[in-house]
Amino acid sequence: MLARIGWRGNFGWDELLLSQRVIMVSEAGAGKTYECQAQQARLWSAGEPAFFLELATLSGSSVRDMLSHEEDCALTRGYDLNPKQRRSS
């Protein structure tokens, strides 16, 4: 089925990040949370707008309540995530 919609062979984060939405389905303990948190940290360090929100928490909280102070400030400033500018703020 995936081949019919254009998926062929192996793919990684570079390909996944081209999509607006990604759903990861796997058994518990497979590393989904770890992978997503690691990618969020990597992207954030590179100055990219990246946020990790757990759906279970999001169902009872607002996005802003789930963000760190630094993330909330970046979101409010319109993703001004330049690492050099972050250090000086």
Question: What pLDDT does residue 80 have?
Answer: 54
Question: What pLDDT does residue 68 have?
Answer: 87
- Nearest by Cα to 42 from 75, 78, 83: 83
Whether 73 shows a pLDDT value over 70: the answer reads yes
Q: Phi and psi dihedrals of 60, rounded to 5?
A: -120, 5
Give the DSSP letter of residue 3.
G
Largest CA distance in the chain: 49
Whether 62 shows a pLDDT value over 50: the answer reads yes
Whether 82 shows a pLDDT value over 70: the answer reads no
Question: What pLDDT does residue 22 have?
Answer: 77
pTM of the model: 0.65
| Spatial distance between the Cα atoms of 72 and 77, rounded to a whole number of angstroms | 9
Whether 11 shows a pLDDT value over 80: the answer reads no
pLDDT band at 42 (very low <50, low <70, confident <90, very high): very high
